[in-house]
């Protein structure tokens, strides 16, 4: 196993993690921004007002995107297991 192979495996794993986390993080960012603007306009500074909508949005995106996330993870794992003979030998 050479250095290029290890770097390639690590890069693919990191890219998969970013791709799986990005939709939920973007949803939290968007909802957080909208709630912050609403709080600034109404001058209501309640912490739970910012947390609960983000939690609901992230959970909703997770439920909607779960089949895609599972498909991507299974595809990556299958490719990794198929490349094991090349990695070991």
Helices assigned H by DSSP within 43-89:
47-82, 84-88
CA–CA gap between residue 83 and residue 81 (Å, rounded)? 5
Q: How many domains in the chain? A: 1
Domain span at residue 80 reads 3-88
Res 86: pLDDT: 82
Both tokens of 11, joined, read: 């890069």
Res 44: pLDDT: 84
Res 10: pLDDT: 92
From first to last of the 89 residues of the chain, give the pLDDT tens digit.
788 888 998 999 999 999 999 999 999 999 999 999 999 899 888 878 889 999 999 999 999 999 999 999 999 999 999 988 888 87
């Amino acid at each position: 196993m050479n250095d290029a192979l290890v770097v390639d495996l690590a890069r693919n794993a990191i890219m998969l993690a970013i791709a799986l986390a990005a939709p939920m993080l973007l949803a939290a960012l968007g909802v957080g921004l909208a709630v912050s603007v609403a709080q600034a306009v109404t001058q209501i500074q309640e912490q739970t007002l910012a947390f609960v909508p983000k939690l609901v949005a992230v959970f909703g995106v997770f439920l909607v995107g779960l089949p895609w996330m599972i498909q991507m993870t299974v595809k990556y794992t299958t490719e990794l297991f198929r490349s094991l003979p090349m990695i070991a030998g």
